[in-house]
């Protein structure tokens, strides 16, 4: 009798708490659902691996996928080599030309400083008149010594391609001459150099100092004469 009462009591408790019973039975899990979830997870992993492998593989259409043509590559390298040789040759020629020019005109500053000394020698000779030289032997010897020094200096100038410019009776050239004044009634063509105040000098083809000159002035024409009373 007691066992029957206990069975009834347990059956009544189960009927009163159906949620707890279903919860307990659901905790163990359905094997079919677990298998479906496992299959879906595996498929997702395989799909991700396949997409990563596709990204890592190079595309056939991508640039550089095909190998370069060896002949085209050789032609390109030969062209670059020729251009580099031409550039080096141009640079060598330019450097050689610059070095030659520097050596050619290296004495420019020194020559300009010495020109004043050469001018003073000439001025010293101009101060001695020919009559005074004839009358005074000592003065003649002094003038002869100054002339010798001047000749030696001009010879040294010539050794270094320094040339003196004394353009008397030549046509005025503004590239080498500097007009200081005009002289009227010279009987010479207008623009002719009639007097050299100070000689000029050239170093090779470069002007060291222009010659300071006096130029013949043109005669006024009859048309320019004022005839008004």
Tokens of 86: 């031409």
pTM for the model stands at 0.56
Task: Count Cα atoms within 13 angstroms, Cβ side, for 167.
Answer: 24
DSSP 115-137: HHHHHHHHHHHHTS-HHHHHH-H
Q: Give me the average pLDDT of each 10-residue run along the chain (229 residues).
A: 46 47 45 53 52 49 58 90 92 91 86 89 89 90 92 90 91 93 87 92 92 84 42
Q: Which domains does the chain have, with CATH numbers?
A: 105-219 (2.30.22.10)
Q: How far apart are CA 198 and CA 177, in angstroms?
A: 10
Q: How far apart are CA 221 and CA 194, in angstroms?
A: 21
Q: How far apart are CA 3 and CA 150, in angstroms?
A: 158
Phi and psi, residue 34, nearest 5°: -60, -40
Give Cβ neighbours of residue 162 (< 8 Å, ≥ 6 apart): 107, 111, 201, 202, 203, 208
Q: Would you state the pLDDT for residue 33? A: 53
């Amino acid at each position: 009798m007691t066992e029957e009462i206990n069975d009834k009591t347990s059956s009544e408790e189960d009927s009163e708490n159906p949620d707890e019973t279903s919860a307990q039975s659901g905790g163990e899990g359905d094997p079919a659902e677990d298998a479906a979830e496992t299959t879906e997870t595996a498929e997702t992993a395989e799909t991700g691996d396949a997409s990563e492998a596709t990204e890592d593989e190079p595309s056939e259409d991508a640039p550089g996928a095909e190998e370069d043509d060896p002949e085209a590559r050789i032609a390109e390298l030969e062209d670059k080599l020729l251009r580099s040789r031409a550039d080096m040759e141009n640079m060598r020629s330019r450097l050689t030309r610059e070095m030659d020019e520097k050596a050619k005109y290296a004495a420019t500053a020194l020559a300009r400083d010495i020109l004043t000394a050469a001018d003073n020698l000439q001025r010293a000779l101009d101060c001695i008149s020919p009559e005074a030289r004839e009358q005074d032997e000592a003065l003649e010897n002094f003038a002869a010594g100054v002339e010798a020094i001047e000749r030696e200096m001009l010879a040294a100038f010539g050794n270094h391609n320094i040339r003196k410019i004394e353009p008397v009776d030549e046509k005025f050239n503004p590239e080498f001459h500097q007009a200081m004044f005009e002289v009227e009634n010279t009987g010479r063509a207008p623009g002719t150099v009639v007097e050299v105040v100070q000689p000029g000098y050239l170093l090779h083809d470069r002007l060291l100092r222009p010659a300071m000159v006096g130029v013949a002035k043109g005669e006024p024409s009859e048309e320019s004469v004022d005839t008004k009373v």
